[in-house]
């Protein structure tokens, strides 16, 4: 009997010992699991602290309340953050009618406009004057081409008003100032041809081109700077002309063509040296190719012109009327396919890309009279 009792007690002791050992093993496993979780938590906390220390500006924001600026307070969202190692979010298409537009704008040219102020007002614009909406995918990539010489004062106002307008319109765009070198007679149309070619060299995805004089500012941001099925004339009601078209075939000031439309008309003519005529030649080219010009509603196609004295090297071309009448003969030979120029400098500024070019000299015209 005692031997049986002793055997039973031995088995009970072994069972208790096994249970204790099993309990110990479970406790060890749970301990290391909790330790690992705490270690991961503190690692993430440390990584966030390091990121904030390396990028202190990431948590700050710019707040602007002026109607002609486009920081987050004016309706534009901030760029979405992307965690390291994750893929960028797929953005929806940009709406045809952007929700943050203001409508009629107060445009004035009396306040001082230093370039530093304009740069502060547009923190989302990248070097070279490039911008992409952070919250949607635009249908087009727009190059804005400005023929230019000795108009720095006008350019500052243009950048002050146009950058916020273009950003509110949810455009992916770049600004190109094509600066004519030297003091020879100005050639607006040839500079526009140069801007088309040079913008495509920088970004082959440009498929819409807006050609704008530097002294014209839209008075309504609902006048959307994008291209359509037909060439578009934006500046249809300028204060200089009493807010109406000076004549039915006027196509000057601000116009837009898609890449395909521009190539179809062989670009702009290169031989209009001096003031006037080239916009009428472009109108003729569009008509000869069977396209029609689209225009915005006159209520939103209003522009203000910055007053200035005419450039002494931009006198009227004495042969412009003869050239206009011969567009059908010159269109194929004179245009984007025949433009000749030399790039002297490409300078990417905070708000625009400046391209200085030598476009040659005008021919010697016979004396008038």
Whether 181 is catalytic is no
Which residue among 121, 220, 221, 278 is the active-site one?
278
Query: Is 310 among the catalytic positions?
Result: yes
Q: Are the beta carbons of 293 and 233 closer than 8 angstroms?
A: yes
Give me the catalytic one of 220, 279, 280, 281: 279
Task: Classify the phi-psi angles of 182: left when phi > 0, otherwise alpha if psi is within -120 to 50, otherwise beta.
Answer: left
Annotation says 305 is catalytic: yes
- Pick the catalytic residue from 48, 117, 299, 308: 308
213 catalytic? Reply is yes
Task: Name the DSSP letter for residue 239.
Answer: G
- 155 within 8 A of 285, measured Cβ to Cβ: no
Please say if 278 is a catalytic residue: yes
Residue 215 catalytic? yes
* 275 a catalytic residue: yes
Matching residue, tokens 């004396």: 367
Q: Give me the catalytic one of 153, 239, 264, 275.
A: 275
Set 198, 213, 271, 280: catalytic member: 213
CB atoms within 10 A of CB 17: 10
Pick from 107, 126, 110, 99: nearest CA to 66: 107
Helix (H, G, I), strand (E, B) or coil at 196: helix
226 annotated active-site: no
- In the set 135, 239, 291, 305, the catalytic residue is 305
What span, in angstroms and rounded, lies between the C-alpha atoms of 185 and 101? 39
Burial class of residue 119 in the structure, from the number of CB atoms within 10 Å of its CB (0-12 exposed, 13-18 middle, 19+ buried): middle
- Active site amino acids: 213, 215, 275, 278-279, 305, 308, 310
């Amino acid at each position: 009997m005692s031997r049986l009792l002793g055997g039973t007690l031995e088995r009970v002791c072994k069972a208790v010992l096994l249970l204790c050992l099993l309990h110990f093993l479970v406790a060890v496993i749970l301990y290391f699991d909790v330790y690992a979780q705490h270690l991961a938590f503190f690692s993430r906390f440390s990584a966030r602290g390091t990121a904030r220390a390396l990028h202190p500006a990431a948590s700050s924001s710019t707040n602007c309340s002026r109607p002609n600026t486009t920081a987050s307070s004016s309706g534009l969202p901030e760029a979405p953050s992307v965690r390291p190692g994750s893929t960028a979010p797929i953005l929806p298409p940009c709406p045809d009618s952007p929700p943050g537009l203001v409508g009629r704008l107060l445009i004035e040219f009396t306040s001082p406009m230093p370039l530093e102020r304009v740069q502060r007002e547009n923190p989302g614009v990248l070097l070279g004057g490039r911008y992409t909406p952070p919250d949607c995918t635009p249908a087009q990539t727009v190059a804005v081409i400005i023929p230019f010489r000795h108009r720095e004062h006008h350019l500052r106002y243009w950048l002050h008003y146009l950058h916020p307008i273009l950003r509110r319109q949810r455009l992916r765009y770049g600004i190109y100032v094509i600066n004519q070198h030297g003091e020879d007679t100005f050639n607006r149309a040839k500079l526009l041809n140069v801007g088309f070619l040079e913008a495509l060299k920088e970004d082959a995805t440009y498929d819409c081109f807006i050609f704008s004089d530097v002294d014209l500012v839209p008075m309504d941001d609902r006048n959307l700077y994008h291209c359509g099925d037909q060439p578009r004339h934006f500046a249809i009601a300028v204060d200089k002309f009493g807010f109406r078209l000076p004549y039915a075939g006027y196509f000057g000031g601000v116009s837009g063509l898609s890449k395909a439309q521009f190539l179809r008309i062989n670009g702009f003519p290169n031989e209009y040296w001096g003031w006037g005529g080239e916009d009428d030649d472009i109108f003729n080219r569009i008509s000869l190719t069977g396209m029609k010009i689209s225009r915005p509603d006159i209520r939103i196609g209003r522009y203000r012109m910055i007053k200035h004295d005419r450039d002494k090297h931009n006198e009227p071309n004495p042969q412009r009327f003869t050239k206009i009448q011969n567009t059908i003969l010159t269109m194929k030979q004179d245009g984007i396919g025949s433009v000749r120029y030399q790039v002297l400098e490409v300078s990417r500024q905070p708000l625009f890309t400046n391209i200085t070019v030598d476009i040659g000299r005008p021919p010697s015209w016979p004396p008038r009279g």
